[in-house]
Amino acid sequence: MNTLTDRYLAATLRSVPAQRRDEIASELRASIDDMIEGRTDGGQDATTAERAVLTELGNPDVLAARYADRRLQLIGPTYYLVWLRLLKLLLSFIPALVGTIVAVVDVAEGQGFGAIGSGIVVALHVAVHIGFWLTLTFAIIERSQQNVDLPDWTVDQLPDVPAHRDISLADTIASVVMLVVTIAYLPFQHYRSWVHDTDGDNIPVLDPTLWSFWLPALIVVLLGSLVFEIVKYRVGSWNWALFGTKALLNLAFSVPLVWLALSDRLLNPALGERLSWLAEADNRNLLGLAIAVGTAAIVVWDLIDTGLKTRRQTA
């Protein structure tokens, strides 16, 4: 026999616990026959009645789940919030941590800037693994019968009301990323620039003699700015002390840069050998002037903007 009813019973019983399968089978078959009979007595033909009854009973997997008292969800409301909090907590630092370690190890082994790529790939792998294994663990807990004792919520867990912020996290992250990229560029341009000499070796954009003092000094100032951004975020809004520090840091970076540009000590003289336009002193002076004016304009605009913000936020 392979009627629709047989197929329906087989589909339902497939996922019902084995020890009660036979009994459920007999009872369900009797119920289905009763329901079909109820319809044929009302004048329906047997085939239509069978289809209608089985449609009424619905998806056999759902019916089986009801018989077995099984939950039709991966992680239910009991564990969902704990799962979500753990997932956020683990994802917030482990992938970045592991990725950074891998990248640093690769750099130490001399892979250069390709190491950043492998660090990101490892971080993504770690994130996927965390998501998968954590979810699997919770799905198993959800299905195991014994209840896991979760600590009850108390009012002491309430977080502080977030302090009013005038400085957003997004702005801070953007500033930090910009600073990191700038710091990384200084050594990077020494090894990789778009200019090569006749032997195919790299010509640094900035004068290599600057490494004796000025470039390390500028890097220190940039690192100071990095710390400043974090402190500023912790403080939460502009005040005049922050404004003063910011002004000092800006000047400490821009004054040496402008001075080096104007005195034609910024760019690598070797560039002139490959780029004929730079070989002429007039052109080099013009470029230096452009860099100096551009830098000065950015600094002045930034100080005015910051000053206005500070006055508004301290008012």
What are the residues binding another protein (CB under 8 A)? 23-24, 26-28, 30-31, 33-35, 38, 56-58, 62-63, 66-67, 69
Could you tell me the smallest distance in angstroms from the CB atom of residue 76 to another protein? 18
In this complex, which beta carbon is closest to another protein, that of residue 57 or of residue 120? 57
For residues 203 and 91, give the distance between their C-alpha atoms in angstroms, rounded to a whole number: 41
In this complex, which beta carbon is closest to another protein, that of residue 17 or of residue 114? 17
Could you tell me the smallest distance in angstroms from the CB atom of residue 23 to another protein? 8
204, 190 Cβ separation under 8 angstroms:
yes
Could you tell me the smallest distance in angstroms from the CB atom of residue 311 to another protein? 52
Could you tell me the smallest distance in angstroms from the CB atom of residue 153 to another protein? 25
In a 13 Å sphere around the CA of 181, the CA atoms on its Cβ side amount to 6
For residues 277 and 264, give the distance between their C-alpha atoms in angstroms, rounded to a whole number: 15
For residues 99 and 90, give the distance between their C-alpha atoms in angstroms, rounded to a whole number: 14
Could you tell me the smallest distance in angstroms from the CB atom of residue 146 to another protein? 18
In this complex, which beta carbon is closest to another protein, that of residue 23 or of residue 305? 23
In a 13 Å sphere around the CA of 7, the CA atoms on its Cβ side amount to 8
In this complex, which beta carbon is closest to another protein, that of residue 56 or of residue 280? 56
Alpha helix ranges (H) inside the chain: 4-13, 21-41, 46-57, 60-67, 77-108, 114-143, 169-191, 214-235, 240-262, 271-274, 276-279, 281-314
- Quote the tokens at residue 239: 């005040």
Nearest to 164 by CA among 46, 313, 274, 284: 313
In this complex, which beta carbon is closest to another protein, that of residue 63 or of residue 271? 63
Residue 15: count other Cβ atoms within 10 Å of its Cβ.
14
In this complex, which beta carbon is closest to another protein, that of residue 16 or of residue 179? 16
- Positive or negative CA dihedral for 44, 48, 51, 56? negative
For 166, 250, 294, 299, the CA distances from 255, given in Å and listed in that order, are 29, 8, 12, 10
Could you tell me the smallest distance in angstroms from the CB atom of residue 176 to another protein? 48
Could you tell me the smallest distance in angstroms from the CB atom of residue 152 to another protein? 26
In this complex, which beta carbon is closest to another protein, that of residue 28 or of residue 215? 28
